[in-house]
Amino acid sequence: MSDRVVYAYAVVRAAGGLDAVAGTLTGVDGTPVRLAPAAREPSVLLAVGDVPAADFREEALRRRLEELEWLETVARAHHAVVEALAAVTTVLPLRLATVYVDDAGARAALDDGAPAFAERLSLLAGHREWGVKVYADPSAAAVPAAPAEDGLSPGRSYLRQRREQRSGREEVYRDAAAAAARVEEAASRQAAGRARHRVQQGTLAGPAGAGENVVNDAYLVPDAGSDAFRAGVEAAAEGLAGVRVEVTGPWAPYSFAVPSEGAEDGQAP
């Protein structure tokens, strides 16, 4: 049994300069990246590299995926390869830790899906993914000042303050919903598709004080519309206290590599 297995990063579209870029890349475990063409569709290639079987065979991988430091290292290497390839061609990023026993297995999987891959690559050509998150920070709500002598008992005065605080928090969430609506309106002018993701919580939601993540979407945007998309979306929180819109990208189209089921009108198929 071989001590190496084949790690797959992405399906890519043949393009000028692609071989030169791929030839400079090292991926997971510091091993070189190579391109394997599909037999049925020569314009469709698979970016792969060899990795230690001791880490990536099924049982070993299951254990390794619980080691956060190791997982982060693999994810960073995977992402770096995908983004480097995406700078010169259209890519379909594969799921983290997609592995095959050998080159023959990787090529067989590529050949089986080659027609569908070619169609998807054509649809995504000239587009990149942008991430958009909306945050609500209830702590930014106006805090009512301690009332002057108002004739109320201390208990009633306290309850009134609590009601006013609650009203301020509710206003922040209403404003966040308004910002989300503005984002959708602005994005619809440029984006070819949208993917909704679960909102992030805990450490994934960002640093302390970032607020509560209430929207976590990805948009597929034509390269020519990127500047207008970003400007429109970033303006969505203007004038709304306690609301923040975060735009990240451009990225390879991770959220659109596989056709979504039940896509809404206006979304990429």
Please tell me whether residues 119 and 137 are part of one structural domain.
no
Last residue of a domain, one of 125, 141, 168: 125
User: Does residue 43 sit within a domain?
Assistant: yes
User: Does residue 265 sit within a domain?
Assistant: no
The mean per-residue pLDDT over the stretch 206-226 comes to 86
Please tell me whether residues 24 and 136 are part of one structural domain.
no
Last residue of a domain, one of 125, 153, 176: 125
Q: Could you write out the DSSP letters of every residue in 81-133?
A: HHHHHHTTS-EEEEEEEEEESSHHHHHHHHHHHHHHHHHHHHHHTTEEEEEEE
User: Does residue 269 sit within a domain?
Assistant: no
Q: 161: which residues sit within 8 A by CB, 6+ positions away?
A: 144, 146, 147
Last residue of a domain, one of 125, 153, 180: 125
CA-CA-CA-CA dihedral for 110, 116, 120, 125, to nearest 10: 60
For the beta carbon of residue 85, count every other beta carbon within 10 angstroms: 27
Give the pLDDT confidence of 9-28 residue by residue, as tens digits: 999 999 999 999 999 999 99
Please tell me whether residues 46 and 87 are part of one structural domain.
yes
Give the pLDDT confidence of 162-214 residue by residue, as tens digits: 555 555 578 888 899 999 999 999 999 999 999 999 998 765 555 555 789 99
What's the pTM value of the predicted model, to 2 decimals? 0.81
What's the domain range around 150? 128-256
- Assess contact for 189 and 266: CB atoms under 8 A: no
Please tell me whether residues 75 and 110 are part of one structural domain.
yes
Whole-angstrom distance, CA of residue 200 vs CA of residue 248: 15
pLDDT of residue 139: 78
Q: Give the residue among 229, 48, 233 at the shortest CA–CA distance from 134.
A: 233
Q: How confident is the model at residue 265 (pLDDT cuts 50, 70, 90)?
A: very low
Run of H or E residues at 248: strand 243-251
- CA dist list (Å): 3 to 49, 65, 212: 13, 19, 46
Amino acid identity of residue 31, one-letter, is: T
Give the lowest-confidence range in 9-18, 75-84, 152-161.
152-161
Please tell me whether residues 120 and 226 are part of one structural domain.
no
**How many domains, in total, are found in the chain?**
2
- Look up the CATH number of the domain holding residue 208: 3.30.70
